[in-house]
């Protein structure tokens, strides 16, 4: 049994869900998620594990939302994924995300 660390970085593209953490091979322990609104307007962001909303909120320009500051974790098994989605298209710069996890193999 081993834990292999991995992560993902990218940008939200508007109203299409973007996969921040893909499905686990066995079990994925997500320790950190971050979204930074680099755009010039506020955005409502929805984060889901499959169809269940785990966070929804508005980020003003320059704001950052983070998960994982304490002992919080999200455990993904099987086909579960974490997606992030904006309520509207960005105007100048797409909000960016970062995710970090360990894969249990």
Residue 66 buriedness (CB in 10 A; 0-12 / 13-18 / 19+): exposed
pLDDT band at 14 (very low <50, low <70, confident <90, very high): confident
Question: DSSP H helical segments within the chain, as ranges?
Answer: none
Give 61 or 69, the one with higher predicted confidence: 61
Tens of pLDDT along 80-102? Answer: 999 999 999 999 999 999 999 99
Cross-strand bridge partners of residue 18: 84
Token pair of 79 as six digits: 């086909």
CB 55 within 8 A of CB 91: no
């Amino acid at each position: 049994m081993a834990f292999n660390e991995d992560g993902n970085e990218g940008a939200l593209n508007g109203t299409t869900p973007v996969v921040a953490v893909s499905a686990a091979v066995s079990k994925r322990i997500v320790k950190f998620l971050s979204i930074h609104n680099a755009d010039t307007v506020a955005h409502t962001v929805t984060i889901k594990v499959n169809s269940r909303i785990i966070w929804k909120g508005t980020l003003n320009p320059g704001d950052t939302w983070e998960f994982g500051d304490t002992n919080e974790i999200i455990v993904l098994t099987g086909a579960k994924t974490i997606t992030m989605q904006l309520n509207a298209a960005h105007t100048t710069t797409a909000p960016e995300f970062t995710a970090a996890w360990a894969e249990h193999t």
